[in-house]
Structure 1
Amino acid sequence: MASLPVSPAQALDGLLAGNRRFVDGAPQHPNQDAARRAELAPAQQPFAVLLGCSDSRLAAEIIFDQGLGDLFVVRTAGHVLGPEVLGSIEYGTSVLDCRLVVVLGHDSCGAVAAARTAVEEGLTATGYVRDVVERVTPSVLAARAAGLTADSDIIDTHIRHTVNLLLDRSRVLADQVATGHTGIVGLAYQLADGHARLVTSHGLPTPVTQDTVASSVGVHPS
């Protein structure tokens, strides 16, 4: 078993290094064999919680080149938040001791597009899809208020909005970030090239770039 990251920044380094391998077409597919499966049977110890959109093109373990037991993944359309999502994330950081929470958005997001259509054309969805759209709408309105119209800017605004909601609604997570136990970041994934771009971060002592590698902590060395 690879050694686990010991800080939020190192956890993020490991994810970005894995994403770089994925983009380069050289994934290592770590921790995906029978030995790893057997090792994890008694208990799990993931190093990061990932709240991502449910989009089928956004499989976290694949795009970050991770394996069984590495990520504690929560996915909803448009990465919208509800009590069960907050509880799952708090479980990941408090019970499983994950040191990093990632909010993962992406371009061509259907939930964001539907919210934008609702704001601009007054067309709303039906059933529970409407609830998803309504939870994304504040991000679209905030982007419009700031004069932002490009899809990428609206996606980034929604990612930042979700990160801020996590900190506002979860006292547990906010306290963990304040003490340096946990970091939280927002990443924007590009469907065409596979690149995950850093949008916002809280609780990381120094800026983290896409060039940072994780070999020093042995997450999955490149």
Structure 2
Amino acid sequence: MSIRNTQINLSRRGLLKFSAGAIGTGVLTVGLSSNLLAAEKKAPAAPAEDEINPDKALQELLDGNDRFVKSKRRNPHQTRSRLVEVAKGQKPFASVLGCADSRVPSEIVFDQGLGDLFVCRVAGNIATPEEIGSLEFGSLVLGTKVIMVVGHEKCGAVDAAIKGAQVPGQIGSLLEAIKPSVESSKGKSGDRLENACKANILAQIEKLKSSTVLSELIKAEKLKIVGGYYDLDTGRISLVN
């Protein structure tokens, strides 16, 4: 074999290694339409999961929460075989943008298991650029069919924003992101904190919908974005419109 042929083969090997690494880390280097096709063709999934649509995905979340509330959890997809299965690849059916509050763990309150949910959690369930990017990846590349923004009763971050709390470090950045919702909910009848929490959920939904990636998926009827409000006392999640 000539030196030139050896160099070509080595270059090809290097290209293959680079491509594999890029795919493995979710590097998106082509246009939106190409990504949509790639996501559909390459994402690993069980046949039943391929058939799910946004409405069915939302209903699965609500059904799981209903089981949780009624103490009838099935604890699905939590076996050793499921662990081995999803180690080979993931195709979660839903994404959740939730508060980091320790009392609202998504997999538990929706009665789901390994590989079912793509979860982003941050205090105040705010849609930061990083959270939006993560959810774009979850929907475009992994194929989640619904994104639920989940706020909750007595949210400490929203309460602090209402009170104008003086906080150290980067905590203030969270409160600044919530303040517009506090303002927009002023004057409404009912509990002020609950009103602000729900307004914040709706505000974060609008931020997500401003993403060109997510908006294109919504237009193509491949994605739905909804809001949910979690009751700490009952465990019930109600839709917020």
TM-score by length of 1: 0.84
Partner of 2:57: 11
Structure 1 counterpart of 2:224, from 183, 190, 209? 183
CA contact (8 A) 1:143 1:149 kept: no
Equivalent position to 2:171, from 126, 129, 135: 129
CA distance, structure 2, for counterparts of residue 67 and residue 146 of structure 1: 38
Could you tell me whether the CA contact under 8 Å between 2:230 and 2:236 is conserved in 1? yes
The alpha carbon displacement at 1:124 in A equals 2.2
- 1:27-46 deviation line (CA, Å, top 9, x unaligned): 00000010000011110010
State the distance in 2 between where 1:71 and 1:89 align.
11
Q: 2:147 aligns with which of 93, 101, 111?
A: 101
The amino acid across from 2:180 in the alignment is: P
Deviation, structure 1 residue 3? 2.7
Q: Within 1, Cα distance between the matches of 2:148 and 2:94?
A: 7
Written as runs of structure 1 = structure 2, the 5 A alignment for 1:59-78 is 59-78=105-124
Matched to 1:38, the amino acid is V
- Relative to structure 1, the CA distance from residue 13 to residue 2 in structure 2 (aligned partners, 3 Å threshold; closer, same or farther) is farther
SS of corresponding position for 1:134: helix
Taking only aligned residues, the RMSD between alpha carbons, in angstroms, comes to 1.5
Is it true that 1:159 corresponds to 2:159 in the alignment? no
Q: 1:77 is paired with a residue of what secondary structure?
A: coil
Q: Deviations over 1:112-171 (max 9, x none)?
A: 0000001xxxx3212100111111111101101656653222211111111011112x11
Q: What letter corresponds to residue 194 of structure 1 in structure 2? A: G
Q: Which residue of 1 aligns with 2:15?
A: none
Cα distance in 2 for residues equivalent to 1:96 and 1:167: 18
Instruction: Give the counterpart letter for 1:3 in structure 2.
Output: A
Q: What SS class does the counterpart of residue 152 from structure 1 fall into?
A: helix
Q: 1:193 — aligned with what?
A: 234
2: distance between equivalents of 1:134 and 1:160? Answer: 16
Q: Answer whether contact 1:125 1:133 (CA < 8 A) is retained.
A: no
Q: Residue in 2 aligned with 1:24?
A: 70
Q: Is the 8 A contact 1:148 1:154 kept in 2?
A: no
Q: Is the 8 A contact 2:205 2:225 kept in 1?
A: yes
User: 1:111 matched to which residue of 2?
Assistant: 157
* Larger relative contact order, structure 1 or 2 (CA cutoff 8 Å, min sep 6): 1
The 1-side partners of 2:159 and 2:47 are apart by 40
- Higher gyration radius (CA): 2
Give 3-state SS (helix, strand or coil) of 1:103's partner. strand
**SS of residue paired to 2:186:** helix
Maintained 8 Å contact 2:188/2:195: no
Correspondence list, 1:41-80, <5 A: 41-80=87-126
Q: Which runs of 5+ in 2 are unaligned?
A: 1-45
Distance 2:57 2:190 in 1: 32
Match of 1:142 in 2: 184
Q: Name the aligned partner's letter for residue 222 of structure 2.
A: H
Q: Quick check: which one's helix share is greater?
A: 2
| Mapped contact 2:161–2:182 kept (Cα < 8 A) | yes
Residue 174, structure 1, aligned to residue 174, structure 2: no
Measured in 2, the distance between the counterparts of 1:38 and 1:162 equals: 35
Q: Aligned pair 1:84/2:130, yes or no?
A: yes
How far apart in 1 are the matches of 2:189 and 2:233?
Answer: 26
* Identity, % of aligned positions: 38
**Aligned-partner residue type, residue 102 of structure 2:** S
Structure 1: tracts of 5 or more residues without a match: 201-222
